């Protein structure tokens, strides 16, 4: 066992020899075997124990047992008592979830404060298999198949190479004392159904089910990594992510494979959930102008683009403008009129006129922000920061704060609304179509 343990730590690069580790110890057989293995290999470690106070005297006896262990092994011992039921009640989560959150938060705090490099937990192969089966039963994507990972950030699981039976056998052979966790048998009904009924049936079909399932899980871990790579490539290809908004190219998306899954992966970043992503997916081929909301973001569907903007911003300050003959956008007490015209007709004074064919639609109307720049008309293509432009024009502060810009989807500011157009889009003798912008 000790050799397998060392090999597993090495081949998964869990930690380098001699680096101090904090071990989460409940007093159950798994964590008792974990610290005994650490001890056998002369690994520097400390013990951390959470008393969730869920089983009265029993919980306190566990704590005492762990403290005694620490003094026997002559290692440092951290303990903490939690009012788990109260936390679950106030945070409106299950007691199990509350215990889990309290545990990992506290372990991380202790780790940081005391300079441990990693937190070791005693999860083993059977836990991992049960987790995957539970995900499969409840419904999952490919990310639900990787099981419990040997290393995740600062958490390491050095016992994942082995199962419950082997751990019990090792404890017995090495006379390692442990406490039975009564909750393990009485409660956690679903997990025990899997452990004591589902898995034995699977072993009836395939006697080496556990090891072949573990093997499958390793395949799924790799498959997941390759899946993530594909998703990252599509993200790069299909999505333009800017500071205040994002754009997804609909025709390119419709041309890819696994469209719905890719859309899901892109949109869940903005707080959209499966149900609403399904609706967005169904709208891809239909008309423009539809809007969808998540708790944080707004999506506006254009003919060729999904325009995603933060809800807070978008409510008052950002608008997506399609290529239409004419439209009027109310902003506070003002309104902005945008008209698309052919070169034969010319416009009145007081309007900004720009070459429509040079502009990438849809347009984005938003408040200006620091760092914005453009090429004011009449300045011979001189690049100018908006902040300086406002200073030159002596725009008072309160007006400056409410100044809007129109930018195109090639990220160029095409005009500062009400003030000046951009030279790059200025009318030339050969201009065929132009837009007028009036505030």
Quick check: 309 and 247 in contact, CB under 8 A? Answer: no
Alpha carbon distance 415, 421 (integer Å): 4
Q: Which is nearer to a copy of itself, 8 or 65 (CB)?
A: 8
Query: Pick from 54, 142, 176, 340: which binds a copy of itself (CB under 8 A)?
Result: 142
Query: Does residue number 198 form part of the binding site for a copy of itself (CB under 8 A)?
Result: yes
Query: Does residue number 223 form part of the binding site for a copy of itself (CB under 8 A)?
Result: yes
Query: Does residue number 197 form part of the binding site for a copy of itself (CB under 8 A)?
Result: yes
Query: Pick from 220, 245, 270, 319: which binds a copy of itself (CB under 8 A)?
Result: 220
Query: Does residue number 397 form part of the binding site for a copy of itself (CB under 8 A)?
Result: no
Query: Does residue number 188 form part of the binding site for a copy of itself (CB under 8 A)?
Result: no
Alpha carbon distance 63, 398 (integer Å): 63
Query: Does residue number 139 form part of the binding site for a copy of itself (CB under 8 A)?
Result: yes
Among the listed ranges 50-58, 165-173, 225-233, 408-416, the one in contact with a copy of itself (CB under 8 A) is: 225-233
Alpha carbon distance 363, 329 (integer Å): 13
Query: Does residue number 275 form part of the binding site for a copy of itself (CB under 8 A)?
Result: no
Alpha carbon distance 305, 111 (integer Å): 47
Phi first, then psi: give them for residue 363, nearest 5 degrees.
Answer: -90, 155
Among the listed ranges 76-84, 86-94, 211-219, 316-324, the one in contact with a copy of itself (CB under 8 A) is: 211-219
Query: How many chain residues are in contact with a copy of itself, going by CB under 8 A?
Result: 41
Q: Which is nearer to a copy of itself, 225 or 393 (CB)?
A: 225
Query: Does residue number 260 form part of the binding site for a copy of itself (CB under 8 A)?
Result: yes
The arrangement of strands across the sheet holding 363-367 comes to 319-321, 363-367, 404-407, 413-416, 420-421
Closest distance of CB 286 from a copy of itself, Å = 15
Cα atoms in the 13 Å half-sphere on the side-chain side of 180: 3
For the chain, the first-to-last Cα distance in angstroms comes to 78
Beta-carbon count within 10 A of 369 CB: 11
Query: Does residue number 334 form part of the binding site for a copy of itself (CB under 8 A)?
Result: no
Quick check: 263 and 281 in contact, CB under 8 A? Answer: yes
Query: Does residue number 285 form part of the binding site for a copy of itself (CB under 8 A)?
Result: no
Q: Which is nearer to a copy of itself, 210 or 339 (CB)?
A: 210
> How far is CA 306 from its chain centroid?
20
Looking at the DSSP assignment, which residues form a beta bridge with residue 338? 327, 437
**Closest-CA residue to 160 (of 208, 121, 190):** 121
Cα atoms in the 13 Å half-sphere on the side-chain side of 137: 12
Among the listed ranges 199-207, 287-295, 357-365, 404-412, the one in contact with a copy of itself (CB under 8 A) is: 199-207
Among the listed ranges 216-224, 315-323, 329-337, 429-437, the one in contact with a copy of itself (CB under 8 A) is: 216-224
Element (H, E) at 248: strand 245-249
Query: Pick from 136, 177, 269, 391: which binds a copy of itself (CB under 8 A)?
Result: 136
Closest distance of CB 346 from a copy of itself, Å = 52
Query: Does residue number 161 form part of the binding site for a copy of itself (CB under 8 A)?
Result: no
Closest distance of CB 33 from a copy of itself, Å = 27
Kindly list the distances between the CA atom of residue 384 and the CA atoms of 152, 308, 369, in Å, as whole numbers in the listed order: 48, 28, 14
Q: Are strands 239-241 and 245-249 parallel, antiparallel or unpaired?
A: antiparallel
Query: Pick from 193, 293, 391, 393: which binds a copy of itself (CB under 8 A)?
Result: 193
Among the listed ranges 52-60, 133-141, 170-178, 363-371, the one in contact with a copy of itself (CB under 8 A) is: 133-141
Alpha carbon distance 288, 283 (integer Å): 9
Query: Does residue number 237 form part of the binding site for a copy of itself (CB under 8 A)?
Result: no
Quick check: 271 and 244 in contact, CB under 8 A? Answer: no
Q: Which is nearer to a copy of itself, 197 or 383 (CB)?
A: 197
Q: Which is nearer to a copy of itself, 180 or 203 (CB)?
A: 203
**Closest-CA residue to 176 (of 67, 39, 50, 77):** 39
Looking at the DSSP assignment, which residues form a beta bridge with residue 310? 297
Query: Does residue number 84 form part of the binding site for a copy of itself (CB under 8 A)?
Result: no
Residues that bind a copy of itself (CB under 8 A): 134, 136-142, 144, 190, 193-194, 197-198, 201-202, 204-206, 209, 212-213, 215-216, 219-220, 222-227, 229-231, 233, 257-258, 260-262
């Amino acid at each position: 066992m000790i050799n397998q343990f060392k090999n597993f730590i090495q081949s998964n690069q869990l930690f380098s020899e001699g680096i101090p580790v904090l071990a989460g110890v409940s007093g159950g057989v798994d964590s008792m075997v974990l610290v005994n293995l650490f001890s056998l290999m002369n690994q520097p470690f400390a013990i951390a124990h959470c008393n969730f106070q869920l089983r009265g005297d029993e919980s306190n006896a566990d704590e005492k047992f762990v403290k005694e262990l620490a003094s026997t092994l002559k290692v440092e011992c951290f303990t903490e008592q939690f009012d788990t039921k109260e936390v679950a009640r106030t945070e409106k989560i299950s007691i199990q979830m509350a215990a889990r959150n309290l545990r990992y938060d506290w372990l991380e705090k202790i780790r940081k404060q005391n300079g441990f490099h990693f937190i070791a937990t005693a999860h083993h192969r059977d836990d991992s298999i049960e987790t995957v089966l539970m995900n499969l039963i409840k419904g999952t994507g490919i990310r639900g198949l990787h099981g419990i990972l040997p290393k995740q950030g600062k958490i390491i699981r050095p016992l994942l190479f082995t199962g419950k039976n082997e751990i019990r056998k090792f404890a017995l052979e090495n006379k390692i004392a442990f406490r039975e966790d009564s909750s393990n048998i009485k409660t956690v009904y679903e997990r025990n159904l899997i452990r004591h009924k589902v898995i034995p049936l699977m072993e009836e079909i395939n006697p080496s089910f556990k090891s072949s399932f573990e093997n499958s899980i390793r395949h799924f871990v790799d498959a997941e990594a390759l899946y993530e790579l594909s998703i990252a490539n599509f993200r790069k290809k299909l999505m333009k992510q800017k500071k205040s908004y994002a754009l997804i190219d609909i025709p390119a998306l419709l041309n890819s494979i696994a469209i719905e899954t890719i859309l899901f992966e892109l949109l869940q970043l903005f707080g959209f959930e499966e149900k609403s992503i399904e609706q967005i997916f169904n709208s891809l081929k239909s008309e423009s102008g539809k809007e969808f909301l998540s708790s944080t973001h707004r999506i506006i569907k254009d003919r060729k683009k999904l325009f995603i903007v933060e809800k807070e911003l978008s409510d008052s300050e950002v608008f997506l403008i399609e290529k239409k003959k004419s439209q009027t956008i109310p902003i506070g007490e003002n309104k902005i009129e945008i008209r698309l015209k052919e070169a034969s007709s010319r416009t009145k004074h007081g309007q900004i006129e720009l070459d429509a064919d040079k502009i990438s639609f849809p347009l984005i109307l938003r408040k200006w922000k620091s760092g914005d720049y453009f090429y004011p008309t009449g300045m011979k293509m001189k690049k100018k920061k908006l902040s300086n432009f406002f200073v030159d024009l002596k725009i008072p502060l309160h007006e400056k704060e409410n100044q809007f810009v129109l930018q195109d989807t090639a990220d160029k500011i095409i005009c500062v609304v009400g003030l000046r157009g951009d030279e790059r889009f200025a009318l030339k003798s050969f201009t065929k179509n132009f837009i007028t912008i009036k505030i």
